Amino acid sequence: MKELSSASAPRGSRVCTRGIPSPVNESILLIEDDGRIREIVERGLRARGFRVASAADGVSGVALARTGSFDLVLLDLVLPDAHGLVVLRALRALEARMPVVALTALDDMDAKVQGLDAGVDDYVTKPFSIEELAARIRARLRWRDESVLSAGALTLDLAAHRATLDGREVSLAAREVSLLATFLRHPGRVLTREQLLLLVWEMDFDPGSNVVDVYVAALRRKLGSGVIETVRGVGYRVGARAVAA
């Protein structure tokens, strides 16, 4: 399927047909009030093998979710009839394990933070490329198939956003889940701040950023100080207490 021309794309969007993977036939629900963005996303994702249904507002989107079986939702956090987080709660009530990727404006940092804390699995900042969006979708769909991670006494339920250690259950924010999952996927390995920024936040290394330290501290407060160890001068790893059989 031919992509829209750059003249048809929203300012700042980058549409590319190179490197399109084989068809995947996964079903995506797009809830987005901007008609031009809807059209470009629909065409771009269909060209990459996804099936796409779309809605222009929250009520229509939730109604579509009730009538169909979707593998992932793309949700604009600013909708004409309802706040995106209200729509998110309605979607979660229908299917708790369905991944939700939020679409946010570049300067809408508050919406990003609220969305992640409310249970959004990931976000993509407008303007975005179809390649980036498709890659984020594929990554989240892989996570969907990997519902539980564990190392020793520590278990992480990715869909429920809940960790269990020594029989104690703790609810986690979405980004805390992403960070802990990254550690559990690399048991015993020391991960640098640079690696964690790339793996969890998909950010280039910023020596002035303390976001990794802030989220590590949050996990320690919730799960205990021994869950994540600091390796001085290098980075962090899952602690011996967490992985002990």
What does pTM read for this prediction?
0.59
Spatial contact of 183 and 236, defined as CB atoms under 8 Å apart: yes
Tell me the residue ranges of DSSP E strands in the chain: 27-31, 51-55, 72-76, 100-105, 122-126, 148-151, 154-157, 162-165, 168-171, 228-231, 235-238
The pair phi, psi for residue 57, each rounded to 5°, is -155, 170
**Bridge-based pairing state of the strands 148-151 and 72-76:** unpaired
The CA distance from 122 to 112, in Å, is 9
pLDDT (tens digit, 0 to 9) for every residue of the chain, 245 residues total? 223 222 233 333 333 333 444 445 789 999 999 999 999 999 999 999 999 999 999 999 999 999 878 999 999 988 999 888 899 989 988 886 788 998 887 566 666 667 766 778 788 888 889 998 998 898 788 766 667 888 888 999 887 788 998 889 999 887 888 899 999 988 888 999 988 888 887 665 566 678 899 999 999 999 998 899 999 999 999 886 565 54
- The verdict on whether omega for the bond into residue 127 sits within 30 degrees of 0, i.e. cis, is yes
Spatial contact of 101 and 124, defined as CB atoms under 8 Å apart: yes
pLDDT at 242: 61
The CA distance from 208 to 8, in Å, is 38
The CA distance from 228 to 221, in Å, is 11
DSSP 226: T
* Sign of the Cα pseudo-torsion (26, 121, 96, 238, in order): positive
Query: Which residues fall within 8 angstroms of residue 233, CB to CB, at 6 or more apart?
Result: none
Query: Which residues fall within 8 angstroms of residue 36, CB to CB, at 6 or more apart?
Result: 8, 9, 10
